[in-house]
Amino acid sequence: MDDEQVGAAGIGRFLCIVAVVGSSACCVSSWEDDPVSRFKAYLRIETAHPSPDYGAAAEFLLAQAREIGLEAQRLEFVEGKPVVLITWIGLDPSLPSVLLNSHTDVVPAEKEKWAHDPFLGFEDGDGNIYGRGAQDMKSVGMQYLEAIRHLKSSGFQPTRSVHVSYVPDEEYGGVDGMARLVGSPDFAKLNVGINLDEGLACSEDFYRVFFGERSVWKLTIKAVGEPGHGAKMYDGSAMENLRESLGAIYKFREAQFQMLKDGLKTEGEVVAINNVFLRAGTPTPSGFVMNLQASEAEAGFDVRVPPLVGIEELETEIRTKWAPASRNLTYTLAFFTDHTTGATTDERTAAANKCQ
């Protein structure tokens, strides 16, 4: 089942703002229904690819900011893909600020496979809310605003300014969203000292700290071979070459998955690789030509590489075992994120003491 769900009670327990704003932390343990209603309203805005309604999402967030009494602006670096930037001015705006980031877009949803309409914001009798984006990451985006709403109404004011950014295009790599924002003069003016980004929405009484992030690799493998009649058996067809490639990849994947199953490594420590598309054959209006072996076949993979995995070794694996030229295979590899070792404890950074 594709349903994403969060517990309504869990939302309240998670609505916290981090200690950095004033060297203290405040957690909210109980909420009225209004925060839940606002969350469900956000879920009802269809921001799924390939045609996200960014405009409606931006207007909703700007209205929330006005209601809370926060400064807000709409920035548009790419036409039709607005960035919403909300600011809570601190007692000393000259200090490096806190940036809380979220994204407005969500991945597509196959409505017919959901128990409830993924864009209805349905809440069942147990307080579970169903919707595309309920976890990734509209819940976190609303938690930021609800935490600020509560703190502000209680008379609290942060020492340093807090900015909340809502960016588009995250699910497609962030090129037209966060990347554009970070490269703009508007971002430089924020004087960001620390940024808190996407994490896990949960109802537990502790908070998970992530010190690093797996790199996102997009791998496409293309196989070529002699075309032939569907009745003829011969070696070296495109489909055979691609099948050999898939076998090598899934052997590697099974070894990684087994370490996860056995508890030897956590999800963040294994290389995750999943086949996301297959393309081959000669299409017809009613399907495919069934008596022709294609001359080309292609497969795409989503690969997530942990910070401590050697990238040279993995690239060698791809070049020599997954897509060797000797089997008429070629590949393209797009790096959506840099391969880094994780958070730093360099004393020159704003969060150094917090990371030690």
How many angstroms separate the CA atoms of 84 and 340, rounded?
28
Please name the amino acid found at residue 139: S
CA distance 118 to 116: 6
Binding-site positions: 103, 136, 171, 198
Walk me through the domains of the chain, giving residue ranges and CATH numbers. Answer: 5-211 (3.40.630.10), 215-335 (3.30.70.360)
Contacts of 168 by beta carbon, 8 Å cutoff, 6+ apart? 52, 54, 78, 81, 82, 83, 103, 104, 105, 176, 177
Written as one string, the DSSP assignment of 5-28 is EEEHHHHHHH-EE-GGGTT--EE-
Active site residues: 105, 170
Interior angle at CA 198, CA 93 and CA 92, nearest 5: 10
| 3-class DSSP state of 270 | coil
Buried b (16+ CB within 10 A) or exposed e, 291-303: eebbbbbbbbbeb
pLDDT for the residue numbered 15: 39
- Cα angle 54, 60, 66 (rounded to 5 degrees) comes to 135
Cα–Cα distance for residue pair 73/81, rounded to 1 Å: 14
Residue 230 token pair: 């569907």
What's the rounded Cα separation, in Å, for the pair 279 and 310? 30
Mean pLDDT by 10 residues, the chain (356 residues): 46 40 39 80 97 98 97 98 98 97 96 95 94 93 96 96 97 92 97 86 73 88 94 94 97 98 94 97 92 95 92 94 96 76 54 50
Residue partners of 111: CB distance under 8 A and separation at least 6: 117, 118, 119
d(CA 8, CA 129) in angstroms, rounded, equals: 7
Residues that constitute the known binding site for Zn(2+): 103, 136, 171, 198
pLDDT for res 212: 76
